[in-house]
Amino acid sequence: MRSTMNISASILVLMMGFSLVACGNSNPAVQPPTNNTGEQTPAPAPEEQPAEGDVIEAEGILTGWADPHTVEIRVKDEPMSFQVEESVQPLFDDIDDEDTVRFKYVERTFAGDTTIKQLVVKEITKVEVDDDDNGASTGAIGTSNRPKTSELEVTVEGMTEKRPVTLAQGNGYSLYVFEPMAFDADENELTMKIDPDYEVEIEKLPADYNLDFLKMDAKEELSETGEVKELTKKELSTGSMNDAQLYMMSQNDKKTEYYIVKELDGNGFIFRVNAPIGEPSEGFLPMAYASLNSIMNEEVSPPK
């Protein structure tokens, strides 16, 4: 009897051993993954791409290349640097320095540092110069035979000195412009960069203009600002406009306006001057008058 019980116990132990071995051989794929830290390893973040703003259209003068990927363009007489990607560079093949260009660009910012901004050219084309009805080019820049740079004498706050100037081309004429000022060839306007309200509108007169009619026009225009006064030759004798055919003005507590008719290089011009009351007014008129006195007629040759 005791022997039978020992045999049964041995059989039971063997069966339990087989059962444990079978459990140990189960497929490990169904077991939960082991993670010693208890945390999931995050996937690497994708590389952040720069953000681009809206497409902006502009027109300017190509100054030149600063490096193989950076070009400078003067926009309204302000030099600006633009990045040029390789896909856009072939568009510059037919564009030379000092050519007028029309282009599209975007402002690119970077998420890591929003203070870093790039202006990136997307499209660019050369603006061809067309002749107008009078045979003079409209908005042509740098087509004169005059030196591109020079010096003009100007008296500001009692001090007379020579200052550098740059040649600008208007509609049928050219003139020299001081650095603090800008010239818009399309509008024939000379302005102060710091405040464009300081401006001179330039109008080239036909050969048969009538001075009496212009005087009536001047009175009508200037009367909207204040009482109209015409300066005499004696009053003009010590100024830079001493040989003007007509010099009329009016003013109020905000600005002074002038209507000046003068002949330069055999042609009559009207200069409508708007001078607000303010700090830039000290240098505005002397520099404006020096630029206007530099005007020469320029009948630009048609493009080849």
Most confident of the following: 30-34, 92-96, 245-249? 245-249
Tokens of 146: 């005059």
CB 171 within 8 A of CB 188: yes
Structural element, H or E, at residue 219: helix 211-222
For residues 262 and 245, what is the distance between their CA atoms, to the nearest angstrom?
Answer: 5
Buried b / exposed e across 136-161, counting CB within 10 Å, b at 16+? Answer: bbbbbbbbbeeeeeeebebeeeeeee
Q: CA 14 to CA 118: how far, in whole Å?
A: 80
122 contacts: CB under 8 Å, gap ≥ 6: 55, 88, 103, 104, 105, 106
Category of 14 on φ-ψ map: left (φ > 0), alpha (ψ -120 to 50) or beta: alpha
Band of residue 137 on the pLDDT scale cut at 50, 70, 90: very low
Question: How remote is the C-alpha of 145 from its chain's centroid?
Answer: 27
**Segment among 35-49, 62-76, 246-260, 263-277 with least mean pLDDT:** 35-49
Planar angle of CA 201, 203, 207, nearest 5 degrees = 165
178-192 pLDDT tens trace: 988 999 999 999 999
User: What Å distances lie between residue 133 and 31, 145, 172, 282, CA to CA?
Assistant: 90, 22, 11, 39
Question: For residue 94, what is the DSSP state?
Answer: T
- In whole angstroms, how large is the CA radius of gyration of the chain? 39
Q: Residue 139: its pLDDT value, please?
A: 39
pTM: 0.54
pLDDT digit string, tens, across residues 39-96: 555 555 555 677 888 889 899 999 889 888 999 999 888 899 999 999 999 999 889 8
- For the chain, give the mean pLDDT: 81
Provide the percentage of residues in the chain whose pLDDT is more than 70: 75
